[in-house]
Structure 1
Amino acid sequence: MVNLAWRGPARRSQSGFTLFEALLAILLLGTCLIPASYALRDALHGPADNAAAARNLDCVTNLMETVLASPYSMLYGLATSDGASAYPIPNETGCPARQVKIQLYGNAVTKVIGPGGTSPYLLYVSVSLADPADGNPYTLSTLVAR
């Protein structure tokens, strides 16, 4: 016959959590929810910043395309040894101030390649935002050959 008096180790009730489990769950939720709330806040404020950055990049890109569409003789006439150019910058609505630098690139006599040269065959063209307080100046640079 089976002895029914001894039933083995006492079984724990499966109907709830222990205090340790509840505290651990609260700690983990708090650890995950705080960074998630910061990420959500930043995501809500981010689109305005991204729109301004995209607009600034578009303005610099459009000006660079305009400069590169100019005849080489005009660019060569505006080139200087220090990069300070008198290129006429069109006034576009919604665009911040931009600057164009056109330099002679390379030295025809010594065959040295680099900005500030005297060679009439290669120009260094750079377009960027004029105000460094705007954050990223979005500098675009290229070499233009005759």
Structure 2
Amino acid sequence: MRAAVRQHGFSFVEVMVAVVLLAVCVVPMAEAVRNGLSASTAALDKAEELRCMKNSMETVLAESYPALWSAAVKDGGVSYVLPEDAACQRVVRSLTLVLCEQCAPIPVPLAPGVAQDRRESAMVSVSLTSDKGYSFTALVAR
């Protein structure tokens, strides 16, 4: 009886069960941490893209109406060059300028010969899209 009282601690089976339970719990936790870290990286990329798109759109809208008009008349805005921005190096942006009188919901372009005659009443529809999903549209009037 005296020998049984002095034995304290865990048996080998109890230790193995505890290790297996810990292993079963640690794997999902490690996966959750990995997913959380990758989600934060994706959120940073989307925030950078959004900032780039907003800055690009603000720069285009800061242009004068005659400058946007002439770019739209010339070649649909293809010759209009978006400003270089160090944060926009990984974002592919596409700008479309369309002259229209009835621009909602979809801009209906004016014919090239008619455009100059309706300069006072027409608007320039400015659309900026990125390769990753953001799209901004605005109308610029005289």
Structure 2 CA distance, aligned partners of 1:103 and 1:63?
17
Unaligned runs of 5+ in 1: 1-25
RMSD of aligned alpha carbons? 3.0
Q: Deviation per CA, 1:25-56, whole angstroms, max 9, x where unpaired?
A: x8xxx7x9876654433112111111111111
Tell me the residue number matched to 2:138.
Answer: 142
SS in 2 for 1:79: helix
Structure 2 residue aligned with 1:55, among 45, 48, 57? 48
Report deviation, 1:97: 3.0
Structure 1 CA distance, aligned partners of 2:27 and 2:59?
48
Count of residue correspondences: 109
Structure 1 residue aligned with 2:97, among 93, 96, 102? 102
1:115 aligns with 2:110: no
Report deviation, 1:94: 2.7
Structure 1 residue aligned with 2:64, among 51, 61, 71? 71
Structure 2 CA distance, aligned partners of 1:84 and 1:55?
25
| TM-score using structure 2 length | 0.62
Percent of residue pairs identical: 31
Unaligned runs of 5+ in 2: 1-20, 111-117
Q: Which has the larger radius of gyration?
A: 1
Letter in 1 for 2:93: R
